[in-house]
Structure 1
Amino acid sequence: MTKFHILTLFPEMVLQGLSPSIIGRAAERGLLSLNAVDIRDYTLDRHGKVDDYPYGGGAGMLMQAQPVYDAHRAVTGGRAVRTIYMTPQGAPFTQRMAQDFAREEELVFLCGHYEGIDERVLELVVTDQVSIGDYVLTGGELAAMVMIDAIGRLIPGVLGNEESAGEESFFNDLLEYPQYSRPEQWQGMRVPEVLLSGNHRLVSAWRLEQSRQRTASRRPDLYARYQEKQRLTERLSRQKRDNIHMMESLSRGQADIIYTDFRGKDTALLLYDRCCAIAMLTALDGETGERMADLLPGDTRMVLVSEAFMRDLLAERGYAVFGEFSQMLYTRKEALPVRHKEIRRLSMEDFPYVSGWYGSGSEGPGTEGGYVRERIQAGAMYGAFLEGRQVGFVGTHEEGALGMLFVEEPFRGRGIGASLEAYAVNRMLERGWTPYGHVAVGNAASERLQERLGFYKAEKTFWWLEKVLANDT
């Protein structure tokens, strides 16, 4: 559960603004929590005063350091918690920033008033200074509410529809396409015929083209970024089997391009998915490898590489080899047959079963159980049942690969595993994705299953590397 703490002089304003919304309903369901803290409760002044005149003179009053500092410590207990100060001097708030903040398990929002807050406490507690626009408000509460709404709706399960956040403005650097509802004709204007056709492929193509046109005319800066990704995806498609993971990360709007180096037909590339802190890279030689290793963001958790020298280089830099894998991909557009009929998307009621089989079962953040919880809440896991009893599951990993396929031993050999994977493949095809996954080298049974389903195997093998924490033993 993500925790939002709001340090403010007007806690009732924040809670009354957020409680009736989708964010408030998500709090009621236990997906997030809203904790509005009154800074006045921590002043040492007997009259409840939290402001004073600024040194050097000037108009207005300044919020004092002591009550802000004590309120912050009361919330965090002195722990290092990401703390956002709402200020017009901060970095402009963007959808990518919202995605970054949505990864945090706990956030503190500091709302200023009057002429601001004593700089000394800002230096001690603030990690991010953020602005929602080039204008000045009377306080930071409205800005904090805007940010909490934008961040909260990205938390798995909040929207209740896994596709909603992926079809909105700014997804993959495109603005959302125009939408229509009944009646078909209103004030002489008709709904576009293609939307009435029932042909989902034509509708998807029309929506994409409309998004492109709208972005090009209204936000040429975003469109230029979109075109760069399209050109890079086209280049990677020349070796599609080896590059499908990077192509999909780009096409799904997940990856930032950190580094590129083109040499003839060869490409050195570093992509970074800020939502899950995963990097994907391919290097030409040791020199480009060293350069990309230097550019890895500091919070990178895992890296996927296809060159042995990159594996060794990153191992020297604190990344342990998690495993060696073959990359498989399904390039057909036809849905696969699902012979086992009792398959459905999982809910948190199914968490104990999945976490009991997948990893340690712990519910703590950063554990396998915590990962399972996040995947279920994201609507990315499916289960197979026999007469109402769950016997297996499959899912989509946070970076986009198929995985986590499991069927209990007594129920194997009945085609349940094939049906689970086929079901997940079909859900990905519905969203216009190319299904792919990683199979541990030496797992011949899993490779045979992929081949029977129509998957192709990449020429390269891949290594997943995981960052070793300082206190790991």
Structure 2
Amino acid sequence: MIFHVLTLFPEMVIQGLSPSVIGRAWEKKVISLDAVDIRDYTTDRHRKVDDYPYGGGAGMLMQAQPVYDAHRAVTGGKKIRTIYVTPQGTPFTQAKAQELAAEDELVFLCGHYEGIDERVLEEIVTDYISIGDYVLTGGELPAMVMIDAIARLIPGVLGNDFSAEEESFYNDLLEYPQYSRPEEWHGKKVPQVLLSGNHQKVTQWRLEQARQRTAERRPDLYEKYQEKQLLIRKLARHKRNNIHLVESLTRGCAEVLYSDIMLAGHSAEEHTAAEIYSAEGKRIAAESVLLYDRSCKTCMALAADMASGEAIAERLPADTELIIVSEPYLKELLKQRGYKVLGSYIQVLYTRKEALPVKHREICRLTMEHYPYVCRWYCNDGKCGPGIDDAYVRERIQAGAMYGAFIEGSQVGFVGIHSEGSLGMLFVEESFRGQGIASSLEAYAVNRMLEKGWTPYGHISAGNTASVKLQEKLGFYRAEKNYWWLEKTLANSTLIC
């Protein structure tokens, strides 16, 4: 990720972001920071970039041409998402940070004085974003706030793989209370459960504390959390068929764009009810849902009937690149709207909580050192699945989501976890097949998913009987439905989900 900051005070940005985790990520070249002085692009010999506003008024205004020239120098004419930090913009949230973290480059434009000439904003700005309803002397501090929030979501920036998943606002809950040594301070003791060594009890305690804290401090956020939990419970009644939806919600990856339950408009107290009914007294069974994962521009849809399918199709985000559906009529409806079927798939899931045995011992997480090997076998020999390319493989490795099998130090295969959450990318060189390496690779990945509290699931190409047999051998169950992946190719866009 490259962050470009157009500013009158580049040293302020550099000094503000250099220390701590973000600075270390910059030093390691995990991210890049480019602070550009707008004054370098003025034609005024005194490096002046401001002038009086037409129509009068207090203060000065930044001129259009220096800003435009600085932007052109940074982008080279490419279309790069450009953010103008302004109190007039949409509020910056964790969801927005996750969305922006999926970009390869971002440009932040920092205003000063009374702002910037409207004409250049109209030409170069794609997003107007605010960090709050107050006014600062310049845009540098808001830009640094956003860069910090975005950068820490990029694979490799945080040392702990779980860090970004355990903090405030993850999955619509505030973070649970944290404690360190000593065990007792000012008469206050660390909760006994945290000293027990029982990881399951610790996890449950933290979840309850996060719920309680969110309900007390952010009732608006807790309402959203309750709505999502209700939807998860309803979908989980048909877990084999809906596991991809359930996991996307429980892992905090997806936002709900459409749901028959949420359309019913029930209060928070009613969300705990065993059954939910519409105003007409009809039981609602969560049979129509549209989820969207902004990080990989993937939609997952479930439609009870054609009318619901039409409603879902109308709500698909414009930048959607992959859609996963299980109803034939929804598939046909999307085909009529320009989407192309990539393939038919069988869904499998592993519902047990105990780890699988891993017989092959030489398995570890892959690093960029192994990137050429994976690309050689998976992307350059016609074996890539839909939406897989070299860039996608790089992203998955950097995310710590790929594992490799080795024999005497030489790699012979790999497996991965896709960006939308499914298990896949399984490969073993032909000369090493029949030795149980594929089973061990998949078991290893399953165990990593179980450690995170996930339910492992995958999509297998229809007709791949060997893979289906492998899943059944490992204890996976098959869904009752068939699934289709559809894509709509966007201009200047490469599908990498």
TM-score class, shorter-chain normalisation, is over 0.9
Match of 2:267 in 1: none
Structure 1 residues not aligned, in runs of 5+: none
- 1:185 — aligned with what? 184
Distance 2:29 2:429 in 1: 31
Letter of the 2:204 counterpart = A
| 1:161 Cα offset (Å) | 2.5
Contact 2:84/2:109 (8 A) holds in 1: yes
After TM superposition, the structure 1 stretch with the greater mean CA deviation from structure 2, 28-37 or 402-411, is 28-37
After TM superposition, give the deviation of residue 171 of structure 1 in Å.
Answer: 0.4
Q: Are 1:361 and 1:368, in contact at CA under 8 Å, matched by a contact in 2?
A: no
- State which drifts further: 110-119 or 259-268: 259-268
Q: How big is the alpha-carbon RMSD for the aligned residues of Structure 1 and Structure 2?
A: 1.5
Which letter maps to 2:193? Answer: V
Counterpart-to-counterpart distance in 1, 2:100 and 2:407: 40
**CA distance in 1: counterparts of 2:406 and 2:13, whole angstroms:** 44
Partner residue, 1:23: 22
Report deviation, 1:266. 5.8
Partner of 1:307: 327
Please name the residue that 2:172 is paired with. Answer: 173
Distance in 2, matches of 1:388 and 1:105, equals 33
Q: Is 1:334 the counterpart of 2:354 in the alignment?
A: yes
Taking structure 2 as the reference length, what is the TM-score of the superposition?
0.92
**SS of equivalent residue, structure 1 residue 35:** strand
Kept in 1, the 8 Å contact 2:339–2:486? The answer is yes
For the pair 1:221 / 2:212, whether they are aligned, the reply is no
What pairs up with 1:132-151 in 2 under 5 angstroms? 132-151=131-150
Amino acid of the residue matched to residue 247 of structure 1?
Answer: V
Residue of structure 1 aligned with 2:298, choices 271, 275, 278: 278
Taking the aligned partners of 1:21 and 1:188, their CA distance within structure 2 comes to 33
**Sequence identity percentage:** 70
- C-alpha distance in 1 between matches for 2:492 and 2:151: 31
Kindly provide the amino acid, as one letter, of the partner of residue 178 in structure 1.
Answer: P
The residue type equivalent to 1:278 in the other structure is T
Superposed counterparts of 1:59-458, under 5 Å: 59-261=58-260, 264=283, 265=285, 267-360=287-380, 368-458=389-479
Mapped contact 1:380–1:396 kept (Cα < 8 A) = yes
Deviation at 1:30, TM superposition (A): 2.0
Q: d(CA) in 1 for partners of 2:183 and 2:381?
A: 51
State the alpha-carbon separation in 1 of the partners of residues 340 and 116 from structure 2: 44
Query: What amino acid is aligned across from residue 209 of structure 2 in structure 1?
Result: Q
Asked if the contact 1:86/1:131 (under 8 Å) is kept, the reply is yes
1:6 partner letter: V
The Cα shift of 1:469 comes to: 3.5
Deviations along 1:33-63, whole A, 9 cap, x unmatched? 1111110011111211100111121111111
CA deviation vs aligned residue, 1:222-262 (integer Å, no higher than 9, x gap): 11011001000111111110000000011111111111125
Provide the secondary structure at the position in 1 that maps to 2:392: helix
Say whether the 8 Å CA contact 2:321–2:490 is kept in structure 1.
no
- After TM superposition, the structure 1 = structure 2 runs for residues 454-465 of structure 1, keeping only pairs within 5 Å, are 454-465=475-486
Separation (CA, whole Å) in 2 of partners of 1:440 and 1:319: 19
CA distance in 1, matches of 2:437, 2:189: 47
Q: Please say if residues 299 and 324 of structure 2, whose CA atoms lie closer than 8 Å, have aligned partners that are also in contact.
A: yes
Provide closer, same or farther for how the CA distance between residues 470 and 135 of structure 1 changes in structure 2, counting only shifts above 3 A. Answer: closer
Matched to 2:46, the amino acid is H
- After TM superposition, give the deviation of residue 28 of structure 1 in Å: 2.1
Moved over 6 A (4+): none
Q: Specify the SS of the correspondent of 1:267.
A: coil
* CA gap 1:413/1:450 in 2 versus in 1, 3 angstroms: same
Matched letter for residue 353 of structure 1 = Y
Distance 2:370 2:381 in 1: 12
CA distance in 2: counterparts of 1:344 and 1:116, whole angstroms: 52
For 1:47 and 1:449, the matched residues in 2 are separated by 72
CA distance in 2, matches of 1:92, 1:269: 26
Worse overlay, 111-120 or 260-269: 260-269
Shift of residue 21, structure 1, vs aligned partner: 2.8
CA contact (8 A) 1:242 1:458 kept: yes
For the residues of structure 1 that align with 2:177 and 2:301, how far apart are their CA atoms?
36
For 2:57, the aligned partner's letter is G
User: How far apart, in 2, do the equivalents of 1:267 and 1:306 lie?
Assistant: 12
Q: Where does residue 266 of structure 2 map in the other structure?
A: none
- Which deviates further from its counterpart, 318-327 or 393-402? 318-327
Change in Cα spacing, 1:382 to 1:367, as seen in structure 2 (3 Å) is closer
For residues 145 and 113 of structure 1, the distance between their equivalents in structure 2, rounded to whole angstroms, comes to 15
With 2-11 and 152-161 compared, the bigger mean Cα shift is at 152-161
SS in 2 for 1:108: strand
Q: How far off is 1:470 after superposition?
A: 5.0
How far is the alpha carbon of 1:471 from its aligned partner?
Answer: 7.9
- Paired with 1:20 and 1:96, the residues of 2 have a C-alpha distance of 25
Distance 2:89 2:260 in 1: 33
Q: Could you give the per-residue CA deviations for residues 372-420 of structure 1, whole angstroms, max 9, x where no partner exists? A: 1000111111111111111111110001100101111111111111111
Q: Which amino acid aligns with 2:248?
A: S
Q: Which runs of 5+ in 2 are unaligned?
A: 262-281
Q: CA deviation at 1:283?
A: 1.0
Rounded Cα–Cα distance in structure 2 between residues aligned with 1:206 and 1:266: 29
**Within 1, Cα distance between the matches of 2:260 and 2:336?**
23
Contact 1:6 / 1:36 at 8 angstroms: preserved in 2?
yes
Whole-angstrom CA distance in 1 between matches of 2:60 and 2:492: 46
Contact 2:8 2:39 in 1 (8 A): yes
CA-CA distance at 1:354 after TM superposition: 1.0
What is the CA-CA distance between 1:318 and the residue it aligns to? Answer: 2.2
Q: Quick one: distance in 1 between partners of 2:444 and 2:305?
A: 40
- 1:32 is aligned with what amino acid? I
